[in-house]
Protein backbone atom coordinates (compact mmCIF):
# COMPACT_ATOMS: atom_id res chain seq x y z
CA UNK A 1 0.00 0.00 0.00
CA UNK A 2 1.28 3.49 -0.78
CA UNK A 3 0.52 6.97 0.43
CA UNK A 4 1.87 10.46 1.01
CA UNK A 5 3.20 11.89 4.27
CA UNK A 6 0.59 14.34 5.60
CA UNK A 7 2.21 15.03 8.98
CA UNK A 8 5.41 13.94 10.69
CA UNK A 9 6.74 14.85 14.13
CA UNK A 10 10.53 14.46 14.14
CA UNK A 11 10.60 14.42 17.95
CA UNK A 12 8.10 11.59 18.47
CA UNK A 13 8.61 9.83 15.09
CA UNK A 14 4.83 9.62 14.62
CA UNK A 15 2.69 10.96 11.82
CA UNK A 16 -0.16 10.51 9.43
CA UNK A 17 -0.34 9.41 5.83
CA UNK A 18 -2.84 10.24 3.13
CA UNK A 19 -3.46 6.97 1.32
CA UNK A 20 -4.11 6.79 -2.41
CA UNK A 21 -7.80 6.08 -1.74
CA UNK A 22 -8.09 9.43 0.11
CA UNK A 23 -8.24 8.00 3.63
CA UNK A 24 -5.92 9.11 6.41
CA UNK A 25 -3.83 6.62 8.39
CA UNK A 26 -1.74 7.29 11.49
CA UNK A 27 1.55 5.49 12.03
CA UNK A 28 3.33 4.88 15.34
CA UNK A 29 6.97 5.59 16.16
CA UNK A 30 7.76 1.86 15.97
CA UNK A 31 6.72 1.78 12.27
CA UNK A 32 9.01 4.71 11.46
CA UNK A 33 11.88 3.31 13.53
CA UNK A 34 11.59 -0.05 11.72
CA UNK A 35 12.30 1.73 8.42
CA UNK A 36 15.83 2.82 9.32
CA UNK A 37 15.06 6.29 7.98
CA UNK A 38 16.11 9.43 9.83
CA UNK A 39 13.42 11.82 8.59
CA UNK A 40 10.29 12.11 6.48
CA UNK A 41 9.17 15.25 4.69
CA UNK A 42 5.63 16.38 4.00
CA UNK A 43 4.40 15.20 0.61
CA UNK A 44 6.93 12.37 0.41
CA UNK A 45 5.67 9.11 -1.12
CA UNK A 46 5.96 6.04 1.11
CA UNK A 47 5.11 2.37 1.08
CA UNK A 48 3.36 0.97 4.14
CA UNK A 49 3.66 -2.55 5.52
CA UNK A 50 0.99 -3.82 7.90
CA UNK A 51 1.06 -6.57 10.48
CA UNK A 52 -1.52 -9.37 10.78
CA UNK A 53 -3.72 -7.10 12.91
CA UNK A 54 -3.75 -4.43 10.16
CA UNK A 55 -1.65 -1.95 12.15
CA UNK A 56 1.16 -0.15 10.32
CA UNK A 57 4.40 -2.00 11.06
CA UNK A 58 6.82 -0.23 8.70
CA UNK A 59 6.98 2.96 6.65
CA UNK A 60 9.49 2.82 3.78
CA UNK A 61 10.47 4.76 0.71
CA UNK A 62 9.22 3.07 -2.48
CA UNK A 63 11.93 0.99 -4.09
CA UNK A 64 14.23 1.02 -1.04
CA UNK A 65 14.38 -2.15 1.07
- Model confidence pLDDT, tens digit, residues 2-23: 999 999 999 999 999 999 899 9
Q: What is the pLDDT, as a whole number, of residue 1?
A: 86
Domains of the chain, start order: 2-60 (2.40.50.140)
Q: How far apart are CA 35 and CA 4, in angstroms?
A: 15
The helix (H) or strand (E) run that includes residue 33 is helix 29-33
Q: What is the mean pLDDT of residues 43-58?
A: 90
Closest among 47, 40, 52 to 8, alpha carbons compared:
40
Is 40:48 a contact under the CB 8 Å cutoff?
A: no
Sorting pLDDT into bands at 50, 70 and 90, what band is 31? very high
Global pTM reads 0.86
Is 3:16 a contact under the CB 8 Å cutoff?
A: no
Amino acid sequence: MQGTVATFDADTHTGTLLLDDGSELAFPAAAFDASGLRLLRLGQRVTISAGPDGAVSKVELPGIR
